[in-house]
Amino acid sequence: MNNFIGPEIEALVAELKATILHPRTLRILGKPKTARYYTNEVMTVHTTTGFYISPERMQRICDISDKAWVICIANVTVMHRFRRRGAFTHYLALVEELADQVGGRVRVELVGNKHLAAFLRRRGYVVEPNDYPELNPPTFWQPLKVADHA
């Protein structure tokens, strides 16, 4: 990763952390989640945060509680000249660390990129049950202990 990418990614995660820790974000269970785009010269990320109420089969397969605090990466665009240079890897590592700090988990939604799907599987991410795999790309959940899979 070049020297420019690291600080840019860290700035995105710092902005995400400020949003998560803002008093308005710490809502009562069942209230709307926060949803926001974070962008800079390296990448644009659409992230939602909040409590995720999960069905029983997802709790069992993804090893999550019925009411999990989640940082959900809904959409990522890495600018072309920064692709394949570790930008998303660095971002994900920082988001995983942040999720751990707030007692949450990371969820990466609808992964249509086969390289990203393979990367998440190598990190130990678990595929969420999908009733329509021919229509929807897989969604991944962070394992309980990311450090064990790194």
CATH number of the structural domain spanning residue 46: 3.40.630
Q: What confidence score (pLDDT) does residue 17 get?
A: 77
Among 77, 64, 72, residue whose Cα is nearest residue 126: 64
Domain annotation covers residue 120: no
Q: Two tokens at 104?
A: 């949450």
Domain annotation covers residue 57: yes
0.85 exceeded by the pTM? no
| Spatial CB neighbours of 13, under 8 Å, sequence gap ≥ 6 | 91, 94, 95, 98
Q: What confidence score (pLDDT) does residue 2 get?
A: 57
Domain annotation covers residue 11: yes
Q: What is the C-alpha separation between 96 and 73, in angstroms, rounded?
A: 11
| Spatial CB neighbours of 72, under 8 Å, sequence gap ≥ 6 | 33, 47, 48, 49, 52, 106, 107, 108, 109
Q: Residue 18: which domain range?
A: 5-24+34-106+134-145
Domain annotation covers residue 115: no
In order along its 150 residues, the chain shows pLDDT tens digits of 556 677 888 887 888 777 766 555 544 434 446 777 888 888 888 887 776 655 565 555 555 555 567 888 888 888 888 888 888 898 999 999 988 887 788 989 888 888 899 999 999 998 887 778 788 888 898 886 544 444
